[in-house]
Amino acid sequence: MEFRHLGRSGLMVSEISYGNWITHGSQVEEEAAHACVRAALDEGITTFDTADVYAGTRAEEVLGRALKGVRRESVEIFTKVFWPTGDGQNDRGLSRKHLTEAIDGSLRRLGTDYVDLYQAHRYDYETPLEETLKTFDDLVRRGKILYVGVSEWTAPQIQRALEIADQMGFDRLVSNQPQYSMLWRIIEADVVPLCSREGVGQVVWSPIAQGVLTGKYLPGQAPPSGSRAADPVSAGPIGRFMNDDLLTRVQDLRPIAADLGLSMAQLAIAWVLQNPDVSSAIIGATRPDQVRENVKASGVKLGADVLERIDQVLGEHVQRDGSLVERMSPKTRD
Ligand SMILES: NC(=O)c1ccc[n+]([C@@H]2O[C@H](COP(=O)([O-])OP(=O)(O)OC[C@H]3O[C@@H](n4cnc5c(N)ncnc54)[C@H](OP(=O)(O)O)[C@@H]3O)[C@@H](O)[C@H]2O)c1
């Protein structure tokens, strides 16, 4: 496993990290979740990503139990806050009250005294940015979090947060967590150029487009049983990729992977890691063998000719619409 700095911070992270959205506390049983975490650790992954909202807070508990007994200094634990975790009017968002209460819940569930990175899961249009950033800064001073990041914020939102931090002397954001894959390149236009200048790293999610880029979903056929797209609870978010034209193009990537001696998943993960602004690619897994296969993308170099071939195959199926990032954060509560 190779390691990279998280943005311009001193923190080193494994360039492939493990995340437990949809899987822990929901799609997979506790035993399978532990087996995936064990495989990740065995393969050299040190960075683990979760969120308080995943599986209604159960995902943090599962990860906490799976990492029990692991030397705390040997891993980097990331979590997130924003989406509702209860019915109360303050059980959501990025207010001082919710951040202060939410971190204690996350620490309790994860079984740790601090998280390495605390991320604002979305932008909060209802809370002054100064209030959020001051509270994050206070949590750093209180030793509950070490670094501050965001997820799916637009370039202007990240820029404003950096300006406020510089004016007020707060800790700066060190990372953003956006969706990024061969099929989803929205951050390349605005977010990456800004973040690259400012030392904010990208910790990217769904590098294999939730499994689509493994090529296991075939056009005109039902999803394989046991896969995310076949699971009635988790099939929603993957649905945007499940159309026959796109799935056909994905099959056309097979010769490119074969020429390189890579699996399709390895090619997709290696692709995101070619971007030097990516600090880490977060992979999900339902089985330990997926982790063992996918980590082999670490350190793989892809030539310009390979990148060009991929672009030719995927063509107009690559999503670049920047307005989608803005729509990721709800402007109102309902
Ligand atoms: N910040 C955000 O808003 C946000 C949003 C989403 C995710 N994330 C983070 O990103 C992490 C990863 O997201 P993701 O799970 O969508 O990532 P992903 O790596 O693109 O997809 C993972 C899924 O693909 C399938 N898979 C993985 N390796 C495979 C292989 N070698 N062969 C066949 N199938 C394979 C598995 O699902 P099946 O076996 O069920 O098919 C697995 O759960 C999350 O856990 C979370 O930490 C963040």
DSSP string over 46-96: -EEE--TTGGGGHHHHHHHHHTTTS-GGG-EEEEEE-S-SSSSTTSSSS-H
Q: How confident is the model at residue 24 (pLDDT cuts 50, 70, 90)?
A: confident
Active site residue 54: yes
Interval 201-205 mean pLDDT:
98
Q: Which atom of ligand 1 is nearest to the CA of 289?
A: 31
Q: Counting beta carbons within 10 angstroms of the beta carbon of residue 134, is it exposed (0 to 12), middle (13 to 18) or buried (19 or more)?
A: middle
Rounded Cα–Cα distance for residues 13 and 15 (Å): 6
Q: Indicate the range of 26-35, 102-111, 156-165 predicted with least confidence.
A: 26-35
Q: Which atom of ligand 1 is nearest to the CA of 212?
A: 24
Q: Is the CB of 271 under 6 A from ligand 1?
A: no
pLDDT of residue 25: 85
> Does residue 8 surpass a pLDDT of 80?
yes
> Does residue 274 surpass a pLDDT of 90?
yes
pLDDT of residue 232: 86
CA of 199 to the centre of ligand 1 (A): 26
Rounded Cα–Cα distance for residues 228 and 239 (Å): 10
- 296, amino acid identity: K
> Does residue 22 surpass a pLDDT of 90?
no
Q: Is the CB of 286 under 6 A from ligand 1?
A: yes
* Architecture category of domain 3-324 in CATH: Alpha-Beta Barrel (3.20)
> Does residue 334 surpass a pLDDT of 80?
no
CA of 210 to the centre of ligand 1 (A): 4
Name the residue with the closest Cα to ligand 1, atom 28. 290
Interval 128-151 mean pLDDT:
98
Q: How confident is the model at residue 257 (pLDDT cuts 50, 70, 90)?
A: very high
CA of 288 to the centre of ligand 1 (A): 13
